[in-house]
Amino acid sequence: MTPTLSRLVDQFGSRRVLVLGDAMLDSYVVGTSTRLCQEAPVPVVAVSERLDCPGGAANTAVNLAALGCQVELMSVVGADQDGDRLCSLLRQLGVGTRLITVSESRRTLSKQRIVNGDRLLARIDQGDTEPIPRHVERRLLAQLNEAFVRADAVVISDYAYGVLTSGMIGRLRTLQQRFQHLIAVDARDLTRYRSVGVTVVKPNFDEALRLVGRQSETVPGARVALAPMLGEAVLDLTGSRIAALTLDADGAVVMERGQHPVRTYASPVDQSSTAGAGDTYLGALTLALASGATTSDAATIAACAAGVVVRQAGTTVCAAHELRQEIILSASSWATPESTRGQRTELALPGPAGSTKERHGRDNPTEVGERRAPALHQA
């Protein structure tokens, strides 16, 4: 299996991917806190550094670029410092930005995290989240026609922050009826894309539960047992051919119409402060499918890519050479097809021996973004 998976990764460089969605700037303000503020019982953080990273749909695009493909991002930012910073980072990281519209009437989405050592103290969200203005939508619609045709695959990252309007989704449906592209979707509301004819959707377990109107499951093992049945419901509700349910430490269960479910396993790690591992997973899954992989092989490749980033802090990516190394180390034992006959809600899904396979560390973890001078703070 390993040589086959590696050959699929080698094909990533010839693929062209269009990413469409809500781009934002992720910032990490990192420092130390040893006392409380006199004005209120909150920690005083002495800032030592700030790290800016592409977030949201921009992080999806950066993950795809790191895996070696040609990426164009279609989104909207404001005519402000955060928008300039985001576009600059994207260009540095190999993402095409000519389809990003700068709107004078919109503030760039940003999420600033205040971190004390390895503890997240607060997150400050800024930017506009209402639907984009009509004149901006018209510009995106005009660009989408040409960009869709050029792409080998389309990835939609919809945080419900206003870029994916009903008009945009309608145009995607029209284009897909004509060209039948590979379309992968990660969205707050996946049912909005039911009529589009998408190839793969990627909800996490809680998102899938909300989609079918169920409450969160807290019983140990319940997620793995319910995942196949839940995945079938997701396929029906979204009209997708493939549904990838990510289960955090329990790995993922990938469902395809008419096929047995495939479970992949996550290597155990300490509590992770990683952001955007789901973007890594979806990017790798999409590129593998666009390169001709079976669903099982694509699921294994995606799990390997996600395994690389969860061992890192912050918003990170998996580079193509790191993915190849991860495949060599562990992919041959990850994917296991299982049958869900009858009405069974529990599944005996065997994993690797003990399910505690150790992974080699990385000497040079990949960081996305650049460090800034420390932000001003008041003692």
- Write out the H or E segment, with its range, that includes residue 204: none
The three-state secondary structure class of 76 is strand
**248 catalytic residue (yes or no):** no
Apex 3 CA angle, 321 and 241, nearest 5: 85
- DSSP character string of 84-142: HHHHHHHHHTTEE-TTEEEETT-PPEEEEEEEETTEEEEEEEES--SPPPHHHHHHHHH
Cα–Cα distance, 337 to 316 (Å, whole number): 30
**Beta-bridge mates of residue 379:** none
Apex 148 CA angle, 143 and 195, nearest 5: 110
Cα–Cα distance, 111 to 104 (Å, whole number): 20
Which one-letter amino acid corresponds to residue 312? Q
Show the tokens assigned to 130.
Answer: 């209402």
- Write out the H or E segment, with its range, that includes residue 258: none
Choosing from 26, 82, 158, 279, the catalytic residue is 279
Cα–Cα distance, 113 to 121 (Å, whole number): 8
Which one-letter amino acid corresponds to residue 233? A
Contact assessment for residue 164 and residue 156, using Cβ atoms and an 8 Å cutoff: yes
Show the tokens assigned to 229.
Answer: 């049945």
Residues that are catalytic = 279
